Amino acid sequence: MQQRRARPWPLPVNVLPSAVRRAALAGLGASGDDLDDASLLIDRTLAEQPDADEDAITTAAEQLKEGRPELFGQSREVVPPAPGGSPAGGPPSRAGVPPKPGAAGLEMARRRGFVTE
């Protein structure tokens, strides 16, 4: 009969709850980097309840899905850009035709009386 070797490192206590949380998030549609982000957010949400049961985890995951649907493959409504002239839309467009090269000098000459046209 062989003896079992002891692990050289202890397993973290929260490995199983973390797997349950990730499974709940994946079941709601999170995947890839979004799954990692959602997992961090739900860990922060349930930080006070390290031994939360599956119902609490599922409830927290559903609340996260309502608040951050982009983590679950859904997109929020696209907000149309602000109209021109408002701060969100950038500077207002310049109205009118741009002056021709030399127009400023010609105007100065007219004001001083050098050109009489």
In whole angstroms, what is the distance from residue 18 CA to residue 40 CA? 10
Which pTM does this prediction carry? Answer: 0.50
In whole angstroms, what is the distance from residue 64 CA to residue 12 CA? 25
Burial of residue 60, with CB atoms counted within 10 A of its CB: 0-12 exposed, 13-18 middle, 19 or more buried: buried
Mean pLDDT over 79-106 rounds to 71
Give yes or no for a contact between 9 and 53, defined as CB atoms under 8 angstroms apart: no
* pLDDT at residue 31, rounded to an integer: 83
Whole-number CA gyration radius for the chain: 32
Tell me which of 75 and 72 has the higher pLDDT. Answer: 72
pLDDT band at 11 (very low <50, low <70, confident <90, very high): very low
Tell me which of 49 and 109 has the higher pLDDT. Answer: 109
- Most confident segment among 31-35, 50-54, 78-82, 94-98: 31-35
